[in-house]
Structure 1
Amino acid sequence: MRDKPSVLFVCVHNAGRSQMAAGWLTHLAAGRIEVRSAGSAPADQVNPIAVEAMREEGIDITGEQPKVLTMDAVESSDAVITMGCGDACPVFPGKRYEDWQLDDPAGQGIEMVRQVRDEIRTRVERLLTELTS
């Protein structure tokens, strides 16, 4: 048994929503939770607008790279949060799954990305409370 829960955030490109969610949880959990993110079809780089939106909140995700979703990553996570990857996301019995319906920030301006960022923060705060209480 691990000493802390692990969460995997998954979206298609692992460039926007899942990276912002991982950034928020890493920041807010302050080491209490193992945080991962991946994509079913990873992009070449993290969305620069998502990076900018997170920087406004004092969270630096510039060092992140989109990663490919693996069965191992899902299997070794306690909670899997998907964001619009549909059937591409594998399911394992006994895992906690949530699908967060969030607009895709790809190709969007900073105003829209800020809204998604703030919605993600609210959901991450709720998830953190559930995992640590």
Structure 2
Amino acid sequence: MTGAPSVLFVCVSNRGKSAMAEGLARALAADTITSSSAGTEAKLGATPNDLSVEVLAEVGADISRHTPRQLTDDLMRSADLTVVVGTSAVVEGPDNSRVEVWDIDEPSARGIEGIDRMRLIRDELVDRINDLSRRLAS
């Protein structure tokens, strides 16, 4: 591996959690992580979740121009690590691919919705990306 390790963040739609993780990694850990993202069921022409865009802008990360894309074996093969963000997406990587699953807290299970929900998810992703950055740098 040369340069910063490449991390592919994955969720179902690539409009929310994985796009947020990619944007946060670019904003917080660009020196230690080269990030991208995809979805297991990404839809052509979709746009990022509006609340995801809003809560990332609050911390200086911009995903407003993000274009969701479909997960492929080739994307996984090109990444040093695939991180599945949340447990909704089921990912079986091709041989020799490294996959890590982040069981992200789902605030809506506790009745927390809207912008408050997205801020809690963002804050957990910030902590996890900072941890991942430290792990990959060592």
Same fold (TM over 0.5): yes
Distance in structure 2 (CA, Å) of the matches to 1:110 and 1:98: 27
> Deviation at 1:94?
3.5
What is the CA distance between 1:78 and its match in structure 2?
0.7
Cα contact 2:73–2:94 (8 A) shared by 1:
no
Q: Displacement, 1:40?
A: 0.7
Q: Residue 121 of structure 2 aligns with which residue?
A: 116
Distance 2:64 2:16 in 1: 12
Could you say which residue in structure 2 is the equivalent of 1:71? 73
Report deviation, 1:81.
0.4
In structure 2, the partner of 1:97 is 99
Mapping of 1:14-29 within 5 angstroms?
A: 14-29=14-29
Whole-angstrom distance in 2 between the partners of 1:17 and 1:122? 14
Q: Unaligned stretches of 5+ in structure 2? A: none
Deviation at 1:132, TM superposition (A): 1.0
Q: TM-score, normalised by structure 2?
A: 0.85
Contact 1:16 1:104 in 2 (8 A): no
Q: 1:12 to 1:86 in 2, by over 3 A?
A: closer
Secondary structure (helix, strand or coil) at the match of 2:62 reads coil
1:53 equivalent to 2:58? Answer no
Kindly provide the amino acid, as one letter, of the partner of residue 27 in structure 1: A
Unaligned runs of 5+ in 1: none
Percent identity between matched residues is 37
Q: 1:8 maps to which residue?
A: 8
> 1:76: Cα distance to partner?
0.9
Aligned letter for 1:123? R
The letter for the 1-side match of 2:65 is: G
Q: 1:60 to 1:26 in 2, by over 3 A?
A: same
| Mapped contact 2:28–2:130 kept (Cα < 8 A) | yes
1:91 alignment partner AA? G
Contact map agreement 1:71 1:90 (CA 8 A) in 2: no
Deviation, 1:68, is 0.6
- RMSD of aligned C-alpha atoms? 1.8
